[in-house]
Amino acid sequence: MNFKGSNAILSGPAGGVVGYAMTTNLGQPVIGFDMGGTSTDVALVGTGETTLVPVEVGGLPLLARGLPLHSVGTGGGSLAVRDLAGGLTVGPESAGARPGPACYGRGGKKPTLTDAHLVCGRLHPDAFLGGDFPLTPSLARLVVGDLGRIEGLNPEEMACAILEVALADMERALRRVSLAEGHDPRNRILYSFGGAGSLHAASLAGRMGMRRVVVPPHPGAFSALGLLTSPLRRTFTRSVLERLPSMGRRRELFSPLVKRARRELIAEGVAPSRVRIKRIVELRGEGQAGEFPLVDGPRLRERFHKEHIRRFGYAREDNSIQLANIRLQADGPSSSPWKKVRTRCYEPKPFDVQPAWMPEGKQSKKAFRASWYIRERLLPGALIHGPACVAEYSATTVIPPGWLAKIDGWGCLVLEENS
């Protein structure tokens, strides 16, 4: 009902963010990191008031709003190739589902990021998709080795170089949504989902000075799970263009939107007592072009200047403030399939130990002895010391040297860097 195609753009990462709120009570702002087969999407979450921003696709603005999000064309199926200048690039060209990575054994002739992980021992050939889809390491080594032969690199060295290039692209995306917007990533948790996200999450967190990574249950399908459990929401916007009005005047402006929102949600079957209303005002300095969304309430002027200082480093407190738009967000109740359980600390036994090259380690040219675990067999409270890898049906999580992982009471895999 009332579906608009523009609202579905980049909804996958948004679904993961919704799921975050339902699978953890960490109470900290996060950076959402969604990496799949063709792209990586990162979003700043938990900043309180700047929750929705105008959406752009290919640099073109849409009449729609979404999470502050940045995308790069790097995913598990991204091809590693030499550009015209001889430089190594990873993506945006992808191997696609067919033929897919060379290690799939379906005729792929070019190396992908997935092939590089397999050569580095960061994917287990017998545990991919729960063991239902065995991978062929020899095919991955062949195509990765061909790419590295020009530079005199062996397959492992070339695979590590591919990982480094991909990590650099993803790091730029993380910096774009955090540091470029005035947010310190060190105060945030990296929340990783998507089928390929947890292969890189700890590496990226270490580069950004972040000490904690959370990988939710079923990361490869987590966006879909989040969308299925998300609350029913209606959003209404109205242009105002007035100098900052009083709170009474703002309530008067919001009144017709509140009535409409309640009417629509009740028509969808939401009980009147369970409708939640959030009033947002979009403010700007007089003569300025961009607006700041703030939750309506007291001390708006003070909060506007504080946000201006955070973003730009200064505030013109003598300048008039203009209310450009009002936006009302109405939510119905949400349902979560997850329940927190008690944990009991223990150290599980690995099902395998194999050499793995981990560029994030201090000795990137050295293969570590990495322990392998099956996530579906781990109980809440399980402790795993890196270097290790945790395989599950929809993803693999790499735990670098110097990191510790634990299954918490929500079923999340929480990685922390040792002090």
Strand ranges in 129-267 using DSSP code E only, listed in sequence order = 189-193, 212-215, 233-243
Q: At what angle do helices 197-208 and 155-177 cross, to 10 degrees?
A: 70
Alpha carbon 72 to chain centroid, angstroms? 12
Distance between CA atoms of residues 402 and 360, nearest Å: 10
How confident is the model at residue 210, as a pLDDT?
94
How confident is the model at residue 54, as a pLDDT?
66
Q: For 166-184, what is each residue's pLDDT tens digit?
A: 999 999 989 988 887 778 8
Helical (H) or strand (E) element with 166: helix 155-177
Residue of 7, 78, 18, 416 lying closest to 222 (CA atoms): 18
Residue of 112, 119, 109, 45 lying closest to 80 (CA atoms): 112
| Residues across the chain | 419
Q: What is the DSSP code string of 58-87? A: TTEEEEEEE--EEEES--TTEEEEE-TTS-
Residue of 398, 404, 37, 386 lying closest to 199 (CA atoms): 398
How confident is the model at residue 58, as a pLDDT?
56
How confident is the model at residue 224, as a pLDDT?
81
Q: For 288-297, what is each residue's pLDDT tens digit?
A: 877 888 999 9
How confident is the model at residue 55, as a pLDDT?
67
How confident is the model at residue 21, as a pLDDT?
61
SS3 readout for 81-120: EECCCCCEEEEEEECCCCCCCHHHCCCCCCCEHHHHHHHC
Taking the chain (419 residues) in consecutive chunks of 10 residues, what is each chunk's mean pLDDT?
60 68 66 89 65 63 69 91 90 90 95 97 95 96 94 93 94 87 86 94 94 92 80 87 91 95 91 92 84 88 87 81 92 76 94 88 69 97 96 96 94 90
